[in-house]
Amino acid sequence: MSKKIIKKSKPVRRRQWDPADADTLARESRARREDRGAVRVTPMEDREYFTECTPNALVITPYGALAFVLRIDTEYLCRVDDALMDGKTSVLAPGDEVFVEEDREDLVIRAVRPRRSKLSRPAVGRNGEQVIAANIDCVVIVASVAKPAFNPGLIDRYLVAAQAGGAKALLVINKMDLGDREPEGVQPYRDLGLDVFNTSCAFHMGMERLSAALAGHVSVLTGHSGVGKSSLINALEPTIRIDTQEISESTQKGRHTTTYSKLYTLDNGATIIDTPGIKQLGLWGVSPEELDYYFHEIAERAADCRFRNCTHIHEPHCAVKAAVESGDIAKARYNSYVRVRQSLVEETAPEY
């Protein structure tokens, strides 16, 4: 039997990719990736909706073919131009910068400026992207000490979504009055350098520090139902009175009080987008192969794996698994990575 000859591949000269390149992150090797956050461009199929314009209003809440906007410190209900409609709903999201024009007795949104960042997820019930909030500086991930229980898996997904959308993230541990200390699972996020805020709306705990962090920025509040997102806004700005509900005693889960995303402005210059609570967050625009980039501690070890395309799940000589065993990588974070990657593989698997 003749031996199979394996040709040695020739060395390839690497191009020094400019970080400004639109798809640089997908082409870079892990070793060359820097901790700079992922900046996504608008998908090609959506670019026809966005145009460079001089905006004169900010979208508060889109509603079908209509949208509430903030214009010169006043809220207006506008009709959305047909060019910005996708079926029965518009392509607008809270935070979009738009150009509003007077048309006889109506106000019409004629154009929307390209987004600099976003928080998005796969659209429910149809193919495509659902943008939860646009042009945000920060994704505020809200969790609670109890009622509902602390859920690190959802936090990890929001961290990925924030980076993929080009925004920074911070973590709020709310309802500190329900426990004598923060959940043990919070420490790995502190170790990653994530800003963590302990708050209690009932005792106005931590509000000054959180208010200072949000001042002058556009932020979106995210998390499970019942963690106290709307209550945080009420505590930060007493003049805003958003309806809230108590946790169900039978399920220990939150009831959906906020049913759609809405933008609020605070006296300290902060703009906050409140969102409905969700049970699970799907990830948009993230492939299984690049997931480790969004788990920074995993990305740092990945360069030392024996196999360049290591998934860090079943391969031998995996530096990531070794770091988990030694305690250098938190096991809870690694388990989240495995679950998220497996879900992405299932979502991208071809249907026969």
In this predicted structure, which of 242-246, 250-254, 309-313 has the lowest mean pLDDT? 250-254
* CA dist list (Å): 155 to 106, 122, 194: 42, 17, 12
Residue 38 confidence (pLDDT) = 41
Query: β-pairing, 106-112 with 74-80?
Result: parallel
Which amino acid, residue 149?
A: A
Tokens coding 257: 């009080």
CA 330 to CA 311: how far, in whole Å?
Answer: 17
How open is the CA angle 166-144-324, to the nearest 5 degrees?
65
191-229 b/e (C-beta count within 10 Å ≥ 16 → b): eeebbebbbbbeeebbbeebbebbeebbbbbbbbbbbbb
Domains by residue range for the chain, with CATH: 51-112 (2.40.50), 118-274 (3.40.50.300), 287-348 (1.10.40.50)
- On the CB side of 21, CA atoms within 13 Å amount to 11
- What is the mean pLDDT of the segment spanning 153-163? 96
CA 124 to CA 122: how far, in whole Å?
Answer: 6
How many other CB atoms are there within 10 angstroms of residue 304's CB atom? 14
User: pLDDT for 302-339, tens place per residue?
Assistant: 999 999 999 999 999 999 999 999 999 999 999 999 99
In this predicted structure, which of 12-16, 103-107, 110-114, 336-340 has the lowest mean pLDDT? 12-16
